[in-house]
Amino acid sequence: MNKDDMILISVDDHVVEPPDMFKNHLPKKYLDEAPRLVHNEDGSDTWQFRDVVIPNVALNAVAGRPKEEYGLEPQGLDEIRPGCWKVDERVKDMNAGGILGSVCFPSFPGFAGRLFATEDPEFSLALLQAYNDWHVEEWCGAYPARFIPMTLPVIWDAEACAKEIRRNAARGVHALTFSENPAAMGYPSFHDDYWTPVWEALVDTDTVMNVHIGSSGRLAITAPDAPMDVMITLQPMNIVQAAADLLWSKPIKKYPDLKIALSEGGTGWIPYFLERADRTYEMHSTWTGQDFGNKLPSEVFRDHFLTCFISDPVGVALRNEIGIDNICWEADYPHSDSMWPEAPEQLDEVLKANNVTDVEINKMTYENAMRWYHWDPFTHIPKEQATVGALRKAAEGHDVSIQALSHHKEGERGGGAGHFDALNAAARGNSGA
C-alpha cells in the first residue's frame, strides 16, 4: 500500500484544555469556584483549583518543537503549537500529518478526572459533567468526522459513574477514560465488587474503558534520583500490571462483551505476556481457582482487550501473535513520543519492513478503531477525502516546520530534564492523587 492511500485513526492523542472551557457548561453558581488558568510572573501558565496547582499545563505538548526544548517546562500557552489547545488548529495539524481521526485524552484534570473530587458531590459532578460536555459538544462536536468522543469517569462514585456512562452513551459516546490502577488512587481495585455498576454500564452501552499509562498518577517505580531516561523507559510497565489485573479479574469472566483499551501501552510486550499468562494458568489454576472455561487466558485477552502502537517494529512483526483484530495505531500528538507530522512516513517504513498486507494495514490503521468505538467518520466525509494524501493536500501551506518556542532558558522556571522525582510529583498532582 502506498502511504498516501492509508487512512489513519489515532486512538491516543491529547488535548491541552483552553482557558474558557467551563464558560458554556458549568452552572453559573459554580463558575467562581471552577479551576482556572493562571498566567504567572515567570511566563508559565498553570491550572489552579483551590489549593492544587497543576505545574505543567503543557507537559509534553512539544509537537513541532526541537528535542532540545522537551525538558523545558512548565510552559505557557504561547510556547506550544495552537493545535494543542485550539480545535480548528488541531484539525489543520491533523490534516498536515495525514491523520483522519483522533481520541483525545485530557490533561489538567488527570486521565481519570480525580482533580474534580471534592467534599461536595454536587459540585464535583457539575465540574466533571461540564468537562464532558465541553469535550463532546465543543471539541469533538466541532468536527464530528475527526474526533472519537471520550468522557471522564466519576472515579469517586461507582453508581454516579455508571449514570454518567449511560448519559454520554445516549449521545453517541462509546469511550470512557479510566485509571489503570484505581487502588493506587485510594479507590477499590478492579477485583472489588464496588465497580459492578460501572462494568454493567460499559457492557450495556458498548462503551470501551480506556486505561492510559500513568492514569493513576504512578509513572514508574524506581529510585527518586534516577535519570529521567529510567522513567521514560519504564512508562509502559504500569500498563502491563493493569493488563494482568484485568485479565485475571472477575469482570472479564462475568461480562463476555466487556471491552478495555490499553492506551499508549505499546504492543511488543504482549506476546510474552500472553505466553506467561497461559503458562500461569496451566501450572497454577488448579490451586488458585481460576477458570476460563474452555479457553486459554491468551484467547480471553483477545476477546476483551484493544492494544495500540506508535511505530513499535517488534509489535508489528509479532502482530499475529497479538491478534490483528486487537491492534490500533496511535499518534500521541502532541506528546514527545509522537511522530507528527511525519507519522505516515515512519509508519510506512515499519509496515513495509515487516511485509504487512493491505488487509492488515487497514485493520490496524482505521478499521479496528471504527469497530471498537462504534464510530463511522464516513457518514461525514467521503472515504477518498480521508486518506493521508487527500488530507495533506487540503493542508497545503500549513506551517509544520520545527520551531523553538520556549521563552526561557533551562533552569529558569524549574521542571528541567533529569528530575524524576519532580515529574512524578507533577503526575500525582495532575491525577489528583
Q: What residue ranges do the domains of the chain occupy? A: 3-431
- Residue 409 is predicted with a pLDDT of 66
- Residue 66 is predicted with a pLDDT of 85
* Cα angle value 307/310/315 (rounded, 5°): 60
Provide the grid cell at 215: 492514569
Q: How many CA atoms lie within 13 A of 421 on its CB side?
A: 4
- Residue 193 is predicted with a pLDDT of 98
Rounded to whole angstroms, how far apart are CA atoms 151 and 132? Answer: 5
Q: How many CB atoms lie within 10 A of CB 131?
A: 24
Residue 320's alpha-carbon distances to 259, 282, 323, 357, 364, in angstroms, are: 20, 22, 5, 12, 12
Q: Which CATH entry fits the domain spanning 3-431: 3.40.50.300, 3.20.20.140, 3.40.50.620, 3.40.640.10?
A: 3.20.20.140
Residue 219's alpha-carbon distances to 49, 202, 247, 265, 368, in angstroms, are: 22, 26, 21, 12, 28
Cα 413–chain centre separation: 28
Provide the grid cell at 381: 466525509
- Residue 67 is predicted with a pLDDT of 85
- Residue 429 is predicted with a pLDDT of 39
* Cα angle value 84/88/89 (rounded, 5°): 45
- Residue 416 is predicted with a pLDDT of 40
Tell me the helices (H) and strands (E) count for the chain, helix number first: 16, 11
End-to-end Cα spacing for the chain: 45
Rounded to whole angstroms, how far apart are CA atoms 307 and 126? Answer: 32
- Residue 71 is predicted with a pLDDT of 72
* Total residue length of the chain: 433
- Residue 73 is predicted with a pLDDT of 64
Q: CB neighbours of 192 closer than 8 A, spacing ≥ 6? A: none
- Residue 343 is predicted with a pLDDT of 97
Rounded to whole angstroms, how far apart are CA atoms 101 and 367? Answer: 11
Q: How many CA atoms lie within 13 A of 395 on its CB side?
A: 25
Helix (H, G, I), strand (E, B) or coil at 13: strand
Q: What is the pTM of this model?
A: 0.94
Report the largest interatomic distance among the alpha carbons of the chain, rounded to a whole angstrom: 65
Q: What is the pLDDT along the chain (433 residues), one digit of tens a residue?
A: 999 999 999 999 999 999 999 999 999 999 999 999 999 988 889 999 999 998 765 557 889 888 888 876 658 899 899 999 999 999 999 999 999 999 999 999 999 999 999 999 999 999 999 999 999 999 999 999 999 999 999 999 999 999 999 999 999 999 999 999 999 999 999 999 999 999 999 999 999 999 998 888 766 678 888 888 888 888 777 799 999 999 999 999 999 999 999 999 999 999 999 999 999 999 999 999 999 999 999 999 999 999 999 999 999 999 999 999 999 999 999 998 999 999 999 999 999 999 999 999 999 999 999 999 999 999 999 999 999 999 999 999 999 998 888 877 665 655 443 333 334 444 443 433 3
Helix (H) or strand (E) holding 98: none
Helix (H) or strand (E) holding 37: strand 36-39
- Residue 421 is predicted with a pLDDT of 38
